[in-house]
Structure formats: C-alpha cells, structure tokens
Amino acid sequence: MPRARVPLGLALLASAALAGASPPAERAAMPEGDFTPVVAPGPATKSVHVAAFGLDRRPVTNAAFLAFARAHPEWRKGATPALLADSQYLAHWAGAAELGAAVGPEQPVTRVSWFAARAYCAAEGGRLPTWYEWEYVAAADEARADARQDPAFRERILAWYAVPASRRLPPVGKTPANLYGVQDLHGVIWEWVEDFGGMMISGDSRTQGDPDKLQFCGAGALSAEIRDDYPILMRMALLSSLEANFTTSNLGFRCAYGASR
C-alpha cells in the first residue's frame, strides 16, 4: 500500500506528544476494485475502477486537528480568510489553539471547510478521498464488500440520518469496523470528499435546454437497481449543497493516501 512518502509532518509529531500514548491515525489498505456508483460515470459506462489507496480508519479528531492548527497558524480558529472558511470555522472550540472543556479530543473534528480539510491531509502527506473512493469503502458492511442492496444495511444507515444533528457527537472508533477495518463512515458525521464539486444538481451546462437531462443526478440518470438507495442519494444531496468554505456542526473528513485514478 502506498503510504505517505514524505517524513511525518510536524503536526503528527505534535499530535503524538499532546495525546500521550495515543497512536498516530491508523490507515487501512484499500484493495483495487471495480465499483458501480449510484450515478453512472457516463452514458455508456456503469462501473469505475478504483485503484488501491490508503484511507484513515477513522475520521480526523479534534485532538489531531488541534495539533495541525498549532503547527499551521494560518489554520487556527479566527485566522482563516472568508474565502477558505466561513465564520463558523471551529466555532465550537474554546480558542485559537485550545478545544475547551465542552469539546472532546476524540470526537471527530467538525466545522471545518473543504480547504481546511485538504490542507490537513496535505500536511499528513495525503489528500481527501474522491467520492468514488469514499462510496467504494462505504458500500461495505462488516462482511461484504457491497452491502448496498441489503435493506437492513440501508435501514441501519437511515436510522442514523434520522438522529438530530444537535446531539453530542460520539468519540470516533465506536461503530463496527467494516470489511476493510474502516469505521464511522456511517453513523457519526458527514465527510468531505475531494471532488464534492462534481455533484451537480443544477446548472450543468451540458444539459441546458434538455428538460429530460436537466439534472444529471435526477432519477433519469439513476440505474433502476439503486434508485431507492436513499442513503447514497442523501449524501449526494448534501455534497451538492456545499460550497468549499462552508462549515457545519456535523461535517468532518478523513484522509486518503496514494495517487487517485
């Protein structure tokens, strides 16, 4: 598995020092494979080939992001320009370089923009996963690489989507590990992906003037088998509603490693 080839950054060193015995973020080795996304990649193409890559087993925590912010002052709370993060960036933290009593170090970090998430992953020698990569991993349950057709699997995810966003976030690593040993893809937070801007509910220039194709995410573009896969449709709706500087109380991220293709 291609790991970070650059020496571990200052952030990680600082993280280890701060967190004491806590190990650095673990990464799962994702095997290459073919994946059928809910939206066909193209008119004549149903599946995509996902190359092998590395992925954080758990979302990035407040403690890890704090270490990053301390090592990169331009990403501290209150230091980011509006282009890169909105005014609610890390709003729940107590200060520029402290979490405060109300924020758990092992909770996933939220209220981070896409730009901030990318900067964090770059400092770790990684990147954000692509949407295909994320969904490829998230299709697995504890035993199967693709559990998306299983109504029980969908129900489990939807039950979380019904939980009010105002609840206190649990620590990372408390949900069952999936087939690849990756946790918290469902049931904790929403996550940024590198190409969230590829989700187009409207304004797609190639379909102007064709009412049947106005929305390529619309039902007409969905294959029959997965038209009722509401968890994935909800994730797509969320991603398509985001701008890169947005931050929300339940949107975090994890990093991927190795070239994407």
Partner 1 sequence: MSVPMSVPRRLVPVALLLLAAGAAVAEEPAHVHVHPTEAPAPALPGGSLYQLGVTVDAADGARLALDSLRGTPVVVTMFYSTCTSVCPMLTLQMQHIAAALDDGERARVRFLMVSLDAARDTPPRLEAFATEHHLPQPPFIVAHAAAGDVRAIAAALGIRYRQLPDLSFSHSSVITLLDRDGVAAARTQVLAADDPGFVASLKAALR
Q: How far is the CB of 224 from partner 1 (least distance, A)?
A: 20
Choose the binding region for partner 1 from 15-23, 100-108, 111-119, 229-237 (rule: CB under 8 A): 111-119
CB 133 within 8 A of CB 253: no
> Minimal CA–CA distance to 33: which of 183, 180, 166?
180
Compute CA distances 255 → 46, 82, 178, 187, whole Å: 26, 23, 17, 18
Under the binding rule (CB under 8 A), the answer on residue 42 touching partner 1 is yes
- Region label for 56, one of left (φ > 0), alpha (ψ between -120 and 50) or beta (otherwise): beta
Under the binding rule (CB under 8 A), the answer on residue 93 touching partner 1 is no
Under the binding rule (CB under 8 A), the answer on residue 51 touching partner 1 is no
Under the binding rule (CB under 8 A), the answer on residue 155 touching partner 1 is no
> Minimal CA–CA distance to 97: which of 120, 63, 122, 125?
63
Under the binding rule (CB under 8 A), the answer on residue 188 touching partner 1 is no
DSSP secondary structure code for residue 75 in this structure: G
Compute CA distances 227 → 19, 117, 220, 230, 234, whole Å: 44, 31, 9, 8, 12
Under the binding rule (CB under 8 A), the answer on residue 210 touching partner 1 is no
Q: Are strands 190-191 and 251-252 parallel, antiparallel or unpaired?
A: parallel
Here's the x/- map for partner 1, 223-252, by CB under 8 A: it reads as -----------------x--xxx-------
Q: Which is nearer to partner 1, 115 or 257 (CB)?
A: 115
Q: Which two tokens stand for residue 86?
A: 């909105």
User: Residues with Cβ < 8 Å from 151, sequence gap 6 or more?
Assistant: none
Q: Which is nearer to partner 1, 5 or 167 (CB)?
A: 5
Here's the x/- map for partner 1, 113-132, by CB under 8 A: it reads as -xx--x--------------
How many residues bind partner 1, per CB under 8 A?
Answer: 32
Q: Which is nearer to partner 1, 28 or 236 (CB)?
A: 236
Q: Which is nearer to partner 1, 175 or 249 (CB)?
A: 249
Binder to partner 1 among 95, 202, 220, 223 (CB under 8 A)?
202
CB 227 within 8 A of CB 69: no
Q: Which residues bind partner 1 (CB under 8 A)?
A: 41-42, 44-45, 80-84, 86-87, 114-115, 118, 194-195, 197-200, 202-208, 216, 240, 243-245
